[in-house]
Amino acid sequence: MQQRDSGAYAGFHGRVGTTFATSQPWWPPRPEAPEGAPNVIVMLVDDLGFSDLGCFGSEIPTPHIDATAAEGIRFANFHSTPMCSPTRAALMTGRNAHAAGVGFVAHIDPGFPGYASELPANQPSMAEVLRENGYATFMVGKWHLSKEQDMSEAGNRQSWPLQRGFDQYYGFLEALTNFHQPHRLYEGNSVVQMESFPDDYYLTDDLTDRAVRMIKESKTADPHKPFFLYYSHGAVHAPLHAKADDIARHRGRYDAGWDTLRAERFQRQKELGIMPEDTVLPPRNDEPGEDVPPWDSLTDDEKALYPRYMEVYAAMVESVDRSVGRLRAVLAELGELDNTIVIITSDNGASREGKATGTTAYFRDGGSQTRDVDGSVIREALERIDEIGGPTTWPHYPRGWAMACNTPFRLYKVSTVAGGHQVPMVLSWPARLPARDQPVRWQYSHVTDVLPTLVDWIGLTPVTARHGRPAEPLHGVSLRSAIDDPDAPTEHTRQHYECMGNRALYDDGWEALTVHKALTPFSEDRWQLYHTAQDPTQTRDLAEQHPDRLAGLVATWEEEAWANQVFPLDEGNRLKYYYRPSSHERFAGQLRIPLGTPTLERWRSSQLISGRSFRIVVEWNYHQGDEGVLVAHGGQESGYVLYVEDGQLVFTHNNCGALHSMSVALGEHCGAVIVDVSAPGGGVWDVSLVVDGAPEAKAAGLRQFAGFLPFNGIDVGRDLRSPVDWDLAQRRGTFPFSGELRAVRYEPGELAPDAASRKLEEARQIGLALE
């Protein structure tokens, strides 16, 4: 081989007799980070309230986050969107959420550009920008920026983390998961095939282990190469799961109730300078369907139960802080702590999804808008109080605790009132930003500002195209002036909000907003007006005093909405759920799942059963003495399992912890077994066990699963991870079938009369009537 001469490559032969000679390299030059570029850690906590960190007024011990804040600054007027996926899209792209194609959680695909449930193909993500500037890029945790139909092994991976700029990824792709027994983890582009988890497994610890490993691997291999870590926590989103020892440390702390906690946190916020001394604490939330009763008005049972939910939540916040401590420790060990930018914030305000009473069964009671009329939710939870936070329950706290977590703001996640989107933000870069006399910033700032701030502050080269397609301009602005000067004017002067029909517009210290009631015309919404520069907690509605200003803000919101793909608005008729691409129809066909097939992904599994009748046909040769699970679909959150034990064929239906079982005694041999499920309407199933052609057992009126349920996908021949039947799992483990089982075949049948897809035209008519 000849030596290279003046950049030419000689001696490399393609076709016979052809020599390549060029002054250009075969590949583009490898990007190099700016000299001395810092590492970057962006940590997004899920559903964390404004006051949940010690440095923002909380009693929950968060020493590691507080230490990060002491080395940097806190933004007290920082805003997300009111919902998780939209915030993640805005964070990753620096563009407003609807303009980035994610105006709602990534579980819809109605065909409108603002609700595509994935990032635009032409828009570089934060990871892609940093990688193009020479960074190693890692992510752990919740992604929630992929279409549901793309989450299986056969899905289009164009919107998975690795395809959006991350070198390494470990976590889960959708909205939430079980912290003790995650339903589905991904490593890179592959599903982690996990049969069961150790008794002491906890997701936050696992994600942190992986983050620490990624950092150590990269920094050992190339100490000069900076890294970007996006740590997207599953905590503190439901289910409220925590380790028993962590929960125990908070026992008794919340017995005084949410009114006392709110007052205590508000006082600390004023002492910390998070809130001005003259700030007014708003009255207790009283909006219909979102109201919080006085703690003193609760029953003795409610006062005995409700603190336990908050104890678990506090333990989850503490686990987040511990993850920060472990990252700080590894950075200190590597000598990288001073030269690492750390940003910690939340994707929206604290969640009211536990509604009035809280719940041990998130997927059953999380949608209730009323108090527990007959007391059954409270009684059940009291009976299981010692299980709350553990693997057998899926808890969420009552919204009174969410009100306290959002101190001092009104309302919660999904609302365009401040409690829905004003969140804590801690920023630190010790080498560039030593501790200062004024550690709090009150300039208005937004999640879209994070990417342009990193580009400006580090001195990165902006990335203005993706895959040859020009990118759209960023909507966010650099926070550099506010970082450098606590008295600098706000540069992010206008921001619109929309979530589930709720709307708001911030404009230079003023804010107009609506609280929309579903299934009512938008023209009937009453707009409120607040001078937030003087009234940060939105306690004085000035709509009547300044009608012209309000009209101008409303008109500006309309302009912003048209410019950012916000329309069509959500009337509350669920139309966005019913519209689906026609390509989905193929997923409702017959499917044979052979023994040995890895767990079929949740959404793919649901297409076989959701809103319809179906049959499960077992292909086996049974001989007396054979035992084990034939098919399992779901986990502790809900599902069903078919198994053989002690000569009995058993079908168990788990409705959020309430089990119904029926069984058939098997003889020496058994041929065909069919689970025949009919969907007569009314949200129920009638189930028959058919053995050798004869119906042998029946159950009527079982809950029909739809939406997220069952949350774990279909397993054939065993029940993996979170079990459908906890007692069975305690006796037999995953209970693999011991006999000859070839496959299980699903045969989807007729849709229920009230199936979602049959409601499409009805929903359209409701929308037209509300125009």
Catalytic site residues?
84, 144
CA distance 710 to 728: 18
CA distance 14 to 92: 42
Helix, strand, coil share of the chain (percent; to 5)? 30, 25, 50
| Residue 472, amino acid | E
Q: Which two tokens stand for residue 525?
A: 């919404």
Looking up tokens 């053995």, which residue turns up?
691
- Cβ atoms of 530 and 520 closer than 8 Å: no
Closest CA to 180 of 198, 156, 153: 198
How many Cα atoms within 13 Å fall on the side-chain side of residue 741?
29
Beta-sheet strands, E only, within 508-568: 510-514, 528-530
CA distance 470 to 489: 32
Chain-centre distance of CA 714, in angstroms?
22
CA distance 43 to 21: 48
Structural Rg of the chain based on CA atoms = 27
- Cβ atoms of 443 and 76 closer than 8 Å: no
Write the DSSP string, 511-522. Answer: EEEE-PPTTS-G
Beta-sheet strands, E only, within 479-520: 494-499, 502-507, 510-514
- Cβ atoms of 542 and 526 closer than 8 Å: no
- Cβ atoms of 416 and 503 closer than 8 Å: yes
Cα dihedral: 187, 188, 190, 194 (round 10): 0
Chain-centre distance of CA 576, in angstroms?
19
CA distance 326 to 330: 6
Q: Which two tokens stand for residue 699?
A: 């159950």
CA distance 578 to 763: 8
Write the DSSP string, 19-72. Answer: B---SS-SSPPPP-PPTTPPEEEEEEESS--TT-SGGGT-SS--HHHHHHHHTS
**346 has which bridge partners?**
45
**Residue 721 three-state SS:** coil
198's CB contacts (< 8 A; 6+ apart) are: none
CA distance 647 to 652: 16
